[in-house]
Structure 1
Amino acid sequence: MSSFTRTRHTARAQRRDKLATIALYGLGALVMLLIFWLLFTILGKGLPGLRPDFLFKQPEEIDAGGGIGPVLFNSFYILFISLIVSVPLGIGAGIYMAEYAPDNGFTSALRMAVEALSSVPSIVFGMLGLAIFAEYFDVGLTILGGGVSLALLNLPMLARVTEEAVRTVPGELREAGYALGTTQFHVIRRVVLPVAIPAIITGVCLVAGRAFGESAVIILTAGLSTSGEMWDFSLFSPGETLAVHLWYVQSEAIVEDARQIADKSAAVLVIVVLLINLAFRFPLWFGKRRQGLSRK
């Protein structure tokens, strides 16, 4: 190949590289603009009329001026229950499939089942929770049923994210740990997990945000009402959440300010999901900052 031909190929590759870079930056900017437009639209409608008492008042069925106090509490309570169940099981299952499970047909089938369950519609898990808690155990629509059903919904995703996060840890780090005479469990706890924890926390953020904003599962397992108390810690009370309340107000409520309540509820829902992500990621950012300062 002559030098002229090589120059042409190099110039063509550089042009393609520039075009691809411009296209990818353009797609990224388009996605960011779409996200900011959604946030501006939702928050712009809900924040101007949002007052602190709206977060603590009881919802109203007929009169105007109701709040979201009990449903907001139920949202956090059910989220807490779902994470208590799903995080240990999901992370443990992911570590097992990445580190301990043998490479055979059973493991491949298990991995396929986990991937398939990750894409199952949430309404199916709601029907499963309804069959287990409301029909088999005959406890009705409860906070416990909603929390456990949400945990079942999020388990496959969390297990798959954890497995991929653990698999991306370089094998050289494991070999260095084994060379020091440590056990496999010690290597996983001291070497693998600290490297994989950012990706695992990202998975926890995803399932937490999904659980907080889920409505189909809650309607079938926790119901469309509350106990009427602001701080009801009973696991067997009905557990309408903020997402379900938003759907109910927007579609079936007869109060005259239903649209305003829906706008303010949507704004609160978005803000809480953003705060959940910040709460999980702040320790990571703080830890990286401390590492950077210690290296200097």
Structure 2
Amino acid sequence: MNPKKVDKAAIAVLYVLAALIVLILASLLAFILIRGIPQFSWEFFTQPAKTFEEGGGIIIQLFNSFYMLLITLLISTPVALGAAIYLSEYAPQNALTDFIRTAIEVLSSLPSIVVGLFGYLIFVIQWGFGFSILSGSLALMIFNLPLLTRTIEDALRAIPGAQREAGLALGLSRWETVTRIVLPAAMPGILTGVILSAGRIFGEAAALIYTAGQSAPALDFTNWNPRSISSPLNIMRPAETLAVHIWKVNSEGIMPDGAEISAGASAILILAVLLFNLLARYLGRKLQQKLTSA
């Protein structure tokens, strides 16, 4: 058989497969957005949910989702960054580091429902945090750490060794080489890892059902005292996120306009993740230019 014809046929098959993937993704997005965007209104974004009445909104659930995302990233990013720096720059190649990497791979494959049950037993019951933002954030940290650690480690390992040698040749210590040369060069990859993990956090529901709770208490957005139960900043209050709200509305079926609320919330969830990714990529490019003078 003519090698050129085989090559053209293989390329054609790859184009078809790529187009099929794009078509499936576009169809899914179009289905969600076409059903959800017509539900958007000022009341939908600014009013709390109403269980037995029509016309409820998702302001509390939307705030809870972004707030829990922020808390989770603040907890998990420094831990994942430190672990990745150790594994990439300091850890020797031995049985211990191989075991650590295997443990990371095993943790990354755990179902989110298992992480939620673990969080319920440890954070909610054993540690006494109850159904709260803190319990949910700690559970999401466990869910998020393996992917984030592995992604940051890969970003650090992608930096050529010549750059490390150049830093050491200039008289920098190993830590100064990591912080002043390796980390700035790896920042785009690190931000990519944060973006991927943030998308998983924002859309997670199963782990939060057993840790953050399924209720959304009324919040007073003029009360910013973190000790008050009605304060949005209180991390010890239960918090129903947007993804959990979608699951709850569809599973209970007691909200009169539940289908419309679920469709609108799903569209917001998709758009929020998309906008967050675009913004993070833009900031990542700006940060790379600032840190590397590229």
Work out whether the TM-score is over 0.5: yes
Structure-to-structure mapping, 1:107-186, within 5 angstroms = 107-186=97-176
Using the size of structure 2 for normalisation, the TM-score is: 0.91
Amino acid at match of 2:9: L
Amino acid at match of 1:35: L
Alpha-carbon shift at residue 125 of structure 1 (Å): 1.3
Amino acid at match of 1:258: G
Alpha-carbon shift at residue 99 of structure 1 (Å): 0.6
Q: How many positions carry a matched residue from both structures? A: 284
Q: Secondary structure of 2:240's match?
A: coil
Partner of 1:279: 279
Distance 2:53 2:22 in 1: 40
Partner of 1:253: 253
Partner of 1:4: none
- Tell me the alpha carbon deviations over residues 5-29 of structure 1, each in whole angstroms, 9 at most, x when there is no partner: xxx9xx61x4343333322222222
Partner of 1:88: 78
Amino acid at match of 1:282: Y
Partner of 2:64: 74
Higher radius of gyration, 1 or 2: 1
Counterpart check, 1:59 vs 2:44? no
Counterpart check, 1:238 vs 2:238? yes
- Tell me the alpha carbon deviations over residues 132-170 of structure 1, each in whole angstroms, 9 at most, x when there is no partner: 222112232111101111111101111111111111111
Counterpart check, 1:198 vs 2:225? no
Gaps of 5+ in 2: 222-231
Alpha-carbon shift at residue 53 of structure 1 (Å): 2.1
Distance 1:34 1:63 in 2: 36
- Tell me the alpha carbon deviations over residues 79-138 of structure 1, each in whole angstroms, 9 at most, x when there is no partner: 111000011111111111011011111010011001110111111111111112221122
**How has the CA–CA distance of structure 1 residues 193 and 36 changed in structure 2, closer, same or farther, with 3 Å as cutoff?**
same
Distance 2:9 2:285 in 1: 33
Using the size of structure 1 for normalisation, the TM-score is: 0.90
Alpha-carbon shift at residue 192 of structure 1 (Å): 1.4
Q: Decide which of 17, 34, 37 is 1:44's aligned counterpart.
A: 34
Checking the alignment, whether the CA contact within 8 Å between 1:246 and 1:265 is kept in structure 2 is yes
Amino acid at match of 1:54: F
Distance 1:140 1:273 in 2: 28
Distance 2:185 2:18 in 1: 27
Distance 1:139 1:118 in 2: 25
Alpha-carbon shift at residue 287 of structure 1 (Å): 5.5
Distance 1:107 1:174 in 2: 21
Q: Secondary structure of 1:221's match?
A: coil
